[in-house]
Amino acid sequence: MSFLLPDAQMLYGELLRGVQALQASSPAPLQLVGIASGGAWLAERLQRDLGRPAAAGVISSALHRDDFARRGLAASAQTVLPFAVEGAHVLLIDDVLHTGRTLRAVINELFDYGRPASVQLAVLVDRGGRELPIEPQFCAARLRLPPGQSLALARQTSGDLRFVLKNQET
């Protein structure tokens, strides 16, 4: 059985429209923060496409993961938040939402920097399988994957986005 991967470029357009709608309904400007690494790529592009002059924030889940002892410190980006978190309205951006464990770790990391007024979540793909009560305010697509498969966002040198289907580690 073959599995048709979603078009990441097309879904990005949906994500952009969703983020614009979230911004329009927000009581204050949203601070975009991408979750390393795919979410960071998306937040960087959203920031540019929304005409915002400052860089988007990047946040890492590495130090707050519940499997840190097994995984160690990943070679992903480190947290950089170019705004004061205290009292800010934060929009976390991620590529693929699955169990919610990464989001739990990211929220812990965010609160290490201060107490935001609000935290929302926008994702490119929600693949279900939640282990924690975390839901996005916006997702461009929902899909179910074949057993033993995971979905990852890849960025080509041109900047174009695409999805890669991977076998999950056992």
Predicted pLDDT at 10: 96
- Kindly report the pTM of this predicted structure: 0.91
CATH for the stretch 8-67+77-167 = 3.40.50.2020
Sheet strands (E) in 5-107: 30-35, 57-59, 89-97
User: Is the pLDDT at 2 greater than 90, yes or no?
Assistant: no
Tell me what pLDDT residue 169 has: 64
- Signed CA dihedral, 156, 152, 136, 120: sign only: negative
3-29 pLDDT tens trace: 688 999 999 999 999 999 999 999 999
Look at residue 86 and tell me whether its pLDDT is greater than 50.
Answer: yes
Sequence ranges of the domains in the chain = 8-67+77-167
Per-residue pLDDT tens over the stretch 112-125: 999 999 999 999 99
